[in-house]
Structure 1
């Protein structure tokens, strides 16, 4: 028995080395293979259930699946989903789906969830997952303001900012090899990005631009994003949002310039604070 296991392992190694040679020849290796991955046999991969992903060639289905796994990991880390009031949950989801349908990446499924947390924050992960804190829902005064924040987060998904950051971090930490990056490593990185690591300035600017255009196409008054950002600039909200959404002053100036140059005149929805307050009464 031990003889055949040994033969299988040796044969598995020969298959793996051939596969790596093919990957090198076709230019799919995104960095120098790590010794620990180079020594893994096909038998080890089969029995260990290890899945590897090439971030340079990530499909939409793979990204959505990665988002689902990250979502599950976030909940294991203590992110609590709010579901006490179905009307509030449905209201927020309807806003998100309305925006997603008009986004530049409407061909993937989107999942919008409320996080039971009084801090004023929102974030997005890979594959169409958007999270809005109850504290932010209370801080917004109108549906247009909430739609602006949610459109901004959709902008991060459209720009694939989470996936790009995963690639950067994986390369910087030397965990990219011939087989790609393990799903477990990517999920761990995704959790860190969601909870602790802010987006780059360029990513925030791009998400602002994409979100601004998105909410206009969806019929929302684009001034909603500006007025919410002005709250950040004036220091009217708690610092949690600053940790993941830097440079409020510069962003307000850029958004105001964008509105002056290219606002959508027929986008006027979401400006009634009484209606919004009524929708949020369940909180």
Structure 2
């Protein structure tokens, strides 16, 4: 490390430590609040574009109102707080720098009261209030400085554009166990100060543990994967509640209001946004189907459906190239991009659909890539099928790229065209019964163990009380297809 870099690093470490008002502790802080807010704003846009939001105004308003109320309890109530529901079936929640907080549709269907949701969202508000993301980014910048990769004092590195260059990766920043402990502590305080029964957070941890067990014990719920969970976390929360010395008699739980809000919410993956039957991808709303090579790992997002080869050395993806644009115009636009070279091209047709296919090459930071791109016109939209790999391996994967292209066509499965998602339906009991008896009387499109889980109960033999409202899941595609349904 040269003298100038050492001096800059020392300056940052000397003047970059401030006392965090949320935690009362000194922490490294060289990302300004305005930068933090801008990073969160940009990352939130990417989240919404990539994951999509759940289109239910009632649910969205409910989550936002709860979040805004919790945010007022923090030490940073004047941040531009945002609270959204993302179209994701996983059990998860996450916060971005400067105020955006997201919960998944999946976690809403799994929780059982407003107080439980307040616990999850309060935890995420704690991460924002304590500036955990900003601190992690500050550490990353100092690490770069120490390695001599650039000066933190340089406008080129310190600019918001450079700091936010990681884009969506901001949401995957790993917090330390101390950060998680702080967020737990702050979240419990926020929900208690907002009038909620903070003991409900204990039930959240129990529910997440049930999710893990139902998945086979080897896989944590996504919220716990992104939030490291010490074995004693539940016990630590119980201890904090004792330290609060708060009388929760009459505190808000709002089980019935919460359940009424999520009544009818989609449960599991939504097949209307596309689903797989083996390697065949069917999209009911856009009315097309396409076949991916055997053994390739597939994924569907709101922006594209894609597959990666078994050796992870080739990718093929399908996405919209634009409406009101012909295949020829889309091809011209693609090849007008700087650095993309056009190879052999031809106008053709696929199942009677007009198409333009061309080989291409491009230089990337990882080396030269090449592949086959095909633009097809279907239902007033031009679709692009892009297969690419290292330039030297194009011939090796050429047949697979072409097989995907020639498989594209109109949806032929009438049943798939009319498929509907599974949804939560409420049942108010008039007599006591076990979960197993509930499943027999009010069948769900789930195994009985999962019915217990979504109702906050341990096992099929767990009792259910008369006068209480419980959840079941009805409708949806056949169970084997539902597992493969893709966002």
Task: Please give the range of the TM-score, normalised by the shorter of the 2 chains.
Answer: 0.7 to 0.9
Maintained 8 Å contact 1:226/1:256:
yes
Instruction: Output the TM-score relative to the length of structure 2.
Output: 0.44
Mapping 1:162-241, distance limit 5 Å: 162-173=133-144, 174-179=149-154, 180-189=157-166, 191-194=168-171, 196-234=172-210, 235=212, 239-241=221-223
Q: Compute the displacement of 1:202 (Å).
A: 0.8
Maintained 8 Å contact 1:215/1:222:
yes
Task: Give, in whole Å, the separation in 2 of the partners of 1:160 and 1:101.
Answer: 16
Task: Give, in whole Å, the separation in 2 of the partners of 1:111 and 1:169.
Answer: 26
Tell me which residue corresponds to 1:47.
Answer: none
Task: Give, in whole Å, the separation in 1 of the partners of 2:112 and 2:231.
Answer: 20
Deviations 1:113-170 (A, max 9, x none): 1111000000001111101011111111111000000000000011100000111122
Task: Give, in whole Å, the separation in 1 of the partners of 2:150 and 2:169.
Answer: 16
Deviations 1:68-125 (A, max 9, x none): 122123344x12122x211111000011011001112212221001111000000001
- For the pair 1:274 / 2:247, whether they are aligned, the reply is no
- For the pair 1:56 / 2:62, whether they are aligned, the reply is no
Maintained 8 Å contact 2:136/2:173:
no
SS of 1:131's equivalent in the other structure is: strand
SS of 1:112's equivalent in the other structure is: strand
Instruction: Output the TM-score relative to the length of structure 1.
Output: 0.74
SS of 2:91's equivalent in the other structure is: coil
What is the aligned counterpart of 2:53 among 60, 78, 81? 81
Task: Give, in whole Å, the separation in 2 of the partners of 1:272 and 1:96.
Answer: 15
Q: Compute the displacement of 1:267 (Å).
A: 6.9
Tell me which residue corresponds to 2:94.
Answer: 123
Indicate how the Cα distance of structure 1 residues 74 and 188 shifts in structure 2: closer, same or farther if over 3 A, else same: farther
Indicate how the Cα distance of structure 1 residues 154 and 132 shifts in structure 2: closer, same or farther if over 3 A, else same: same
Structure 1 runs (4+) deviating above 6 angstroms are: none
Tell me which residue corresponds to 1:258.
Answer: 240
Tell me which residue corresponds to 1:11.
Answer: none
Maintained 8 Å contact 1:166/1:190:
no
Q: Please list every run of 5 or more consecutive structure 1 residues that lacks an aligned counterpart in the other structure.
A: 1-20, 32-54
Maintained 8 Å contact 2:192/2:198:
yes
SS of 1:246's equivalent in the other structure is: coil
C-alpha RMSD of the superposition: 2.6
Tell me which residue corresponds to 2:363.
Answer: none
Task: Give, in whole Å, the separation in 1 of the partners of 2:238 and 2:68.
Answer: 26
What is the aligned counterpart of 1:72 among 16, 41, 45? 45
- Count of residue pairs the alignment pairs up: 234
Maintained 8 Å contact 1:155/1:211:
yes
Task: Give, in whole Å, the separation in 1 of the partners of 2:112 and 2:253.
Answer: 9
Tell me which residue corresponds to 1:246.
Answer: 228
Q: Compute the displacement of 1:257 (Å).
A: 0.5
Task: Give, in whole Å, the separation in 2 of the partners of 1:200 and 1:124.
Answer: 15
What is the aligned counterpart of 2:83 among 112, 131, 156? 112
Tell me which residue corresponds to 1:149.
Answer: 120
Maintained 8 Å contact 2:133/2:173:
no
Q: Please list every run of 5 or more consecutive structure 2 residues that lacks an aligned counterpart in the other structure.
A: 14-28, 215-219, 266-487
SS of 1:30's equivalent in the other structure is: helix
